[in-house]
Chain A
Amino acid sequence: MSSQRIHTLDVTAQNLKSNARLSLKDQQLRTNMRSAMDSLISKRLISMPDEDERENLRELGNKIKASALSQLPDLLEQLESNLTKQGIQVHWASTTEEANAIVLNIAQARNAKQVIKGKSMVSEEMAMNEHLTEHGIEALESDMGEYIIQLDNEKPTHIIMPAIHKNAQQVGKLFESRLALPYTDDVDSLIQSARSILREKFFQADIGISGVNFAVAETGTLLLVENEGNGRMSTTVPPVHIAVTGIEKVVANLQDTVPLLSLLTRSALGQGITTYVNMISAPRQPDELDGPEEVHLVLLDNGRSQAFADSELRQTLNCIRCGACMNHCPVYTRIGGQAYGTVYPGPIGKIISPHLLGLENTPDHPSASSLCGACGEVCPVKIPIPALLRRLREENVKSPKQQPQIMAGQGSRYSNKEALLWKGWQAFNTKPLLYKTGTFLATRLGQFTPSKLGAWTQNHSAPKPAKRSLHELAKKHLEKKS
């Protein structure tokens, strides 16, 4: 089997189909993904053995997010006012360009040369690293997985485990070639090497960047979840901390984080809790001896308000980014995360990316699913992902002119021919005479159906109409009986 390197994929969302084909041929990738996903699936289940407890909590998680979204603008204002009171500066950005400009401004005002990053998917949305690098500022990832893929110029393949597609040998070779370290595939040694390199980077960094898992409006608290300690390092050692997050991450009260945290860490990793839960409510106080002097929060929209505008699609914003939907997705497990060409891969990626990028740029995402339903069943905040996929498919084939326009890029898959075909299908099935004639002809002329039917017969045998229609058979059967 060819072991085509994954990053030779053309990583744009437009190429999902061809990327998927390439990924399917990468045996190493498929083995790595399969074993990783199997293990994540079983860990999750072991950590949620009591079905009642699990299902009640999912229901609560769903309601907490729905309730937060039902008062989102008020909660955002409450969050802003509490954070500001406590000394954290809040910035708003409609687009990723605006968000990048905000971060760059803060960095330039501090004359920053080096930025160290905790894991943040929103910063991936912004392509923040590239933007900072263009302006002469080094942006280094410190999450072990992110660090590995940054070294290999790749994009994360999973939102929780960015380098899950690589095995230890691959990482060993990467460290050998990029860091001039002696080759080893011993995971402990690899981690220790990265630790010592990154410790120095934490030490030097002018700015630390992080994401946010939950922003609590009531207390003005940014809650961050992690196992490695790089998040704590990034938010504590450098003199400036910038947190970037989507506007949907706000919850009303501190107690809401109790069920959400438990759902998040168990769904993501099968852990009852992560090693660290870091709650930040203020920068360094006058009597404190460490912590950042400046803390900033950047609230990013980037298409979220579009999803918000439709009460069905709004549920997309329940997401707490646990990754369980991708772990359980048969498509994701086979093609890996990079084939999607989007920051968020897998089921969540398929329902959120069209809002972030426009349907015209993610034309195949809503249909790259068998609708098996696994994602919806495991989602800890009960997002009906399959239903939302079907909804997006509808938006995707609506006439671009149809009003109201729900989504950017609406109708990117609209075709006159297909619309006409469905009209015909509708007529055929609703006009008895047409239906009868049609089925009569199809059954009598069945032997003439071609054996090659384009894309369909690549993977299926061609359909052969039966000799008699079900109607006819039933009629005959009844006649015989009487």
Chain B
Amino acid sequence: MSAREKILASLRQSLEGTQPLADPFDASLVDKPWRYCPAERVTRLKELMTAVHSEVHLTRSAEWPQLLHELLTQRQINRLLTAPSTTHGQAFSAYCQIQDSSLKLLAYDRPIEEWKRELFDDVPASFTGTLAGIAATGTLVVQPSPAEPRLMSLVPPLHIALLKASQIYDNLYQAQQAWPRPMPSNLLLISGPSKTADIEQVLAYGAHGPKDLIVLLVEDA
């Protein structure tokens, strides 16, 4: 008998004569305690994310490219990984062109194997969109895609994410209702830059993922 058959047979034998218990899920328990009005959603998300070392900037559709550019200049970052095929990627590259910016925009346009070294060593920052935000926990929902692959929000030391205020849900339960089915190959909840408290419970940021996370929260979008 294979391990599979053995395990399933043993479990079935133990359940003989019993019925599956009814699904006990009760949405109100995970939804009701965590509801906010639209303005609260923005402030709560900002507050919670800031508390875990993220930078959240409230901005507007017409202004965020300039803000992003300024933030990078302030940090003396001259290379940014963006997704040229996305609307936000295009908007930013258009802004850079008009400004005649010296910022070098990199694209994740080939399989990781072809430029792993460069991604690990020479990409100081990345800029991605988000699928949604979650007010209750101060969270970004990020869906990696061919345009914005999985490692884009993980390997560069600085991750900058664009979040539309209208996309902020109250809580995880509500956000989940809008997720694509079947589930995408990878879906992420990100609630700050990477961190650890494994030594003496002292919090240290920049464990294995980004050391910094900046959220551009577009209030009129």
Contact = CB atoms under 8 A, between A and B. Distances in A.
Interface of A: 32, 35-36, 39-40, 50, 53, 56-57, 60, 63-64, 66-67, 70-74, 76-77, 86, 92-94, 98, 142-145, 148, 161-164, 166-168, 171, 187-188, 190-192, 195, 198-199, 202-203, 219-221, 227-230, 232-233, 236-237, 247, 252-256, 258-259, 261-262, 269, 272-285, 287-291, 299, 301, 305, 308-309, 314
Contacts of A144: 196, 198-199, 207
B8 to A, nearest CB: 5
17 contacts: A57-B30, A60-B24, A63-B21, A66-B24, A67-B24, A144-B199, A221-B183, A227-B195, A278-B186, A278-B188, A281-B182, A281-B185, A288-B145, A290-B111, A301-B6, A301-B10, A314-B14
Contact of A281 (B136, B186, B192): B186
Given A72-B15, A168-B202, A232-B154, 20 more contacts: A50-B33, A56-B29, A76-B8, A92-B7, A143-B198, A144-B199, A164-B198, A187-B200, A191-B206, A228-B195, A229-B207, A253-B25, A258-B30, A273-B172, A276-B188, A278-B186, A278-B188, A288-B185, A301-B7, A309-B14
A290 B147 CA distance: 11
B149 A94 contact: no
Given A254-B176, A288-B146, A192 B209 contact: no
Nearest to B152: A290
A54 to B, nearest CB: 10
A254 B52 CA distance: 27
Interface in B180-221: 181-202, 204, 206-210
A236 B209 CA distance: 12
A464 B67 CA distance: 82
Nearest to B187: A279
B43 to A, nearest CB: 16
B198 A148 contact: yes
B184 A281 contact: yes
B22 interface: yes
Sort A-B residue pairs by CB-CB distance and give the 6 closest, nearest first: A229-B209, A63-B24, A145-B198, A229-B194, A282-B185, A228-B207
A258 B149 CA distance: 25
A191 B183 contact: no
Given A73-B15, A187-B204, A308-B11, A262 B186 contact: no
A161 to B, nearest CB: 6
A276 B185 contact: no
B199 A187 contact: yes
Contact of A275 (B146, B150, B176, B191): B191
B48 interface: yes
B173 A36 contact: no
A341 to B, nearest CB: 22
B153 to A, nearest CB: 9
A289 B30 contact: no
Contact of B209 (A32, A228, A279): A228
A168 B200 contact: yes
Contacts of A163: 198-199
B14 A308 contact: yes
B198 A290 contact: no
B11 to A, nearest CB: 4
A94 to B, nearest CB: 4
B139 interface: yes
A285 B185 CA distance: 8
A176 B201 CA distance: 21
A276 B189 contact: yes
Contacts of B179: 254
Given A92-B2, A145-B198, A289-B108, A273 B29 contact: no
B12 to A, nearest CB: 5
Contacts of A276: 188-191, 194, 209
Nearest to A272: B137
A233 B185 contact: no
Interface in B53-100: none
Contacts of B194: 227-229, 275-276
Contacts of B207: 144, 191, 195, 227-230
Nearest to B194: A229
Given A255-B25, A275-B52, A291 B150 contact: yes
B67 to A, nearest CB: 24
A3 B124 CA distance: 45
A36 B193 CA distance: 23
